[in-house]
Amino acid sequence: MMMDNRQFLSIGQVKDQYLTGNLPKDDKNKQNIPAGENSFASVLNKVKESADKSYSTEDLKFSKHAVNRLNDRNIELSTEQMQRLNQGKIEAGEKGIKESLILVDELAFIVNVPNNTVVTAMDQTENKNNVFTNIDGAVIV
């Protein structure tokens, strides 16, 4: 391990300098820390990007199960309904919902928001007891 000849300051000295405004006039005591991969700003940006992905504007994907349910139940989505379903997914993500029930007209969709995936779909008239499980929020669009 190599050590250079930099002068290190204690936390108290640094605090005093910044609180009293007595910053050093020369650059000898300043440490230029590059904004590298593990800098606070970099880590903060990664966390923000990760949070933004949870309600991205990408089009929804349909799981194999959801495609089968759409076919079995003869459900066809119009372009306008698909846009509303996407908007519902975005709104769910903005509210922090992970597994959302999204109601579009008489259709009900369970959407995994972080994965951007419709898990299942049904016509509300099929669901006799109107009970939906394993969701943490609902959006009506």
In terms of pTM, does the model score above 0.75?
no
Domain spans in the chain, listed from the N-terminal domain onward: 57-140
Taking the C-alpha atoms of residue 111 and residue 141, their distance in angstroms, rounded to an integer, is 14
Give the domain 57-140 fold: YaeB-like fold (3.30.2310)
84 or 10, higher pLDDT? 84
**Of the ranges 7-11, 55-59, 123-127, 131-135, the best mean pLDDT one:** 131-135
Q: pLDDT, tens digit, for every residue of 50-74?
A: 655 545 557 899 999 999 999 998 8
Average pLDDT over residues 111-115: 96
Which 8-state DSSP code applies to residue 6?
Answer: P
Give the pLDDT score at 48: 66
Q: How far apart are the first and last CA of the chain?
A: 61
pLDDT in tens, 20-32: 766 655 544 445 5
Task: Give the pLDDT confidence score for residue 45 in this predicted structure.
Answer: 73
